[in-house]
Structure 1
Amino acid sequence: MDTHRAPWRCTGLQWQDGRPVLGAVRGALRHERVVEAGTAVSWQVRGPRLCSGPWLSGEPERRPCPHHAEIEPAGGAVLCAPCQTVDGGLALARDQILDDGRTYLLYLAWFGGDLLKVGLTGEHRGRARLLEQGAPVFTFVARGPLPAVRRAELTVSGSGLARERFGARAKAAQWWHLPAAAERAATVAEARVAVLAVLAGHPVETFADGPVVDQVALFGLTAGPPPAYREVVALADGATVSGTLRPPIGRRLFLDPPDGGEPLLLDALRLTGWGLAAAPPGPCSGVELREHRRPPAPDVQHALF
């Protein structure tokens, strides 16, 4: 991304055609860059951090925030309050859109352990939603109009077989404990059988034997995450982040710093709304970090008799 005539303002990271793409705008200009493993990046964030503007149903891009509103520098929200009230994605999540005429897919996404998520996504988006969530393994279980798929989603979550949401920290904690590929596939396939049983009679088209898609290798998690890393939990105006990218996990970026220290983990949502400028490679500054270390293996007590 050319940031020498900065600031380009970051619009976040999305998966397009199976590739992670970091976007930015400067006035009427738009720029996109594929976030590839092995690429060296060095960013300085420049404030103020501004609202990204709402996405309106049927439009390919977000509209600029009409209020030019500033948002919390260290917060997770990328929209100001007025834009949140009209954003199509948030309206869908809040059940404020009853039917938009599109076909939706019901999916199961497994993040390891007992973290089985049920959700829905527009059929036209393919697996982009699952890539953006960083789902290690997923399968589609049904399709239909929004009202029917949403009722199916509520039935599954109400059954206790899967939940609608998990926090990012809970998902990341499972990266160290993902089993082998065969066990991952069997876990999701068994969950699908149980979910299809509770969906019997629902007015949706179900997939009894659809593929179980494994994204662990794509996310660079075959051998797990680094045994120790530092997570960026807040950015301030003027902060700098440098490193060589590892494969993105959803919207989360691992970077190996130029000084050879512990890798950094940066959620691209934290870049959204900031101005981005090129910075000389070096240690990160102006950031709040949280240490993460691989927990010790459980102590297994073997019976003598």
Structure 2
Amino acid sequence: MGVEWRCRRITWSGGEPGLRWEGGKVSPLVYGRPLAFRAVGVRRCPGARGNPCPLAAAVPGRATGGMCAECARLDRAHSVAADTVADDPQPYRVYLAWFGPGMTKVGITAEARGGARLLEQGAVAFSWLGRGPLMAARRTEEVLRQALGVPDRVAYERKRAARHPLPPAADRAREVEELYRRAREVGGWTETLEPLEFAPHDHAGAFRLDGLPPLAGTVTELTDGGTVAGRLLAAAGPDLHLLAPDGRCLALDTRLMGGWALRRAGEEDGFSVPVTAVAAAASDPDAQGELF
């Protein structure tokens, strides 16, 4: 019997992607290298906020959250994004993020995290807009969403499709700069936040997105005995873009891996987990080292 590792999630450290496992071990994800594993058994809730799930509850294969209801509530209760934390004394930053042509958003992140939040979201390009206390940053985020007509989230299906192919870096920066200019013209927020100068940041290199082949499909879930085998072409946010043995470029949302016990597989085992064609996915508007 092969060694099993129970997956937690993807992590971005120092601008490099890796997979975090139960117990804290991280396996680097190396572009151009084979990735091959088999899911086994039952997918179990990995717990929340560093605490194991007390029930080791089974969770559905298609759930990107990968947590049982109780652990999901615990995780949400301590989330800045959920608007449940109001007294955090550390400074926050407001950012403008670009995911693809016409796909931009305004968001906030703790200043101490640097650009990690943007890597986790799969933002191809971004710029900081301002910095200050949490509540001032949150108010600015909401004011700008309304004034600029940008959403509070961009569906992952749209983000994935926009990476194949990307417009030139200059065009990406230009769109972010235009959003920055419009944001600075919105009155009031500079009274409570310190504005930051426009400075474009681009993650296409860190994600290895340039030159990706057309996206043929996305993994919908892992299954007991199902295998993933291919060469890692790119990673962006939670997504891995793989070149499957049959030549298709397929996307795997690593949030679907959380809670599964994984065993090493070989490339000859093929790609046998369920995959949805890109056209079908696009129609939805909302829509450890031993393994590698």
Same fold (TM over 0.5): yes
Structure 2 counterparts to residues 33-44 of structure 1, below 5 A: 33-44=27-38
Q: Letter of the 1:51 partner, please give it.
A: C
Preserved contact between residue 116 and residue 161 of structure 1 (Cα < 8 Å): no
> Could you list the per-position Cα deviations for residues 203-225 of structure 1 after superposition, in whole angstroms to 9, with x for gaps in the alignment?
01111x231101123222223x3
Amino acid at match of 2:184: L
Amino acid at match of 2:115: R
Structure 2 CA distance for partners of 1:98 and 1:42, relative to 1, 3 Å: same
1:284 to 267, 271, 275: 271
Offset at residue 88 of structure 1 (A): 5.3
**Correspondence for 1:119:** 107
State how far apart, in whole Å, the 1-side matches of 2:238 and 2:187 are.
Answer: 31
Gaps of 5+ in 2: 280-292
Q: Which is helix-richer, 1 or 2?
A: 2
Deviation at residue 132 of structure 1 after TM alignment: 1.2
Which amino acid is 2:11 matched to?
Q
Q: Is there any run of 5+ residues in structure 1 with no aligned partner, and where? A: 56-61, 294-305
1:161-191 superposed Cα distances (whole Å, 9 cap, x missing partner) = 4221010011122223532222211211121
**Residue of structure 2 equivalent to 1:129:** 117
Q: TM-score, normalised by structure 1?
A: 0.85
Query: Quick one: distance in 2 between partners of 1:75 and 1:69?
Result: 13
Work out which of the two has the higher radius of gyration on C-alpha atoms and give 1 or 2.
1
1:18 pairs with one of 15, 18, 37 = 15
Match runs of 1:181-200 below 5 Å: 181-200=169-188
For residues 89 and 170 of structure 1, the distance between their equivalents in structure 2, rounded to whole angstroms, comes to 28
Choose from 243, 249, 256 the match for 1:270: 256
Distance in 1, matches of 2:115 and 2:57, equals: 32
**Matching residue's letter, 1:262:** R
Cα distance change of structure 1 residues 265 and 95 upon mapping to structure 2, 3 Å threshold: same
> What secondary structure is seen at the aligned counterpart in 2 of 1:36?
coil
Separation of aligned partners in 2, 1:108 and 1:274: 34
Corresponding residue for residue 155 of structure 2? 167
Kindly indicate whether the alpha-carbon contact (under 8 Å) linking 2:45 and 2:59 is maintained by their aligned counterparts in 1: yes
Give the number of the structure with larger relative contact order, counting CA–CA contacts within 8 Å between residues 6 or more apart: 2
Query: Would the alpha carbon gap of residues 89 and 229 (structure 1) be closer, same or farther in structure 2, given more than 3 Å must change?
Result: farther
Report how many aligned residue pairs link the two structures: 277
SS in 2 for 1:218: helix
Give yes or no for contact 2:37–2:265 (8 Å, CA) kept in 1. yes
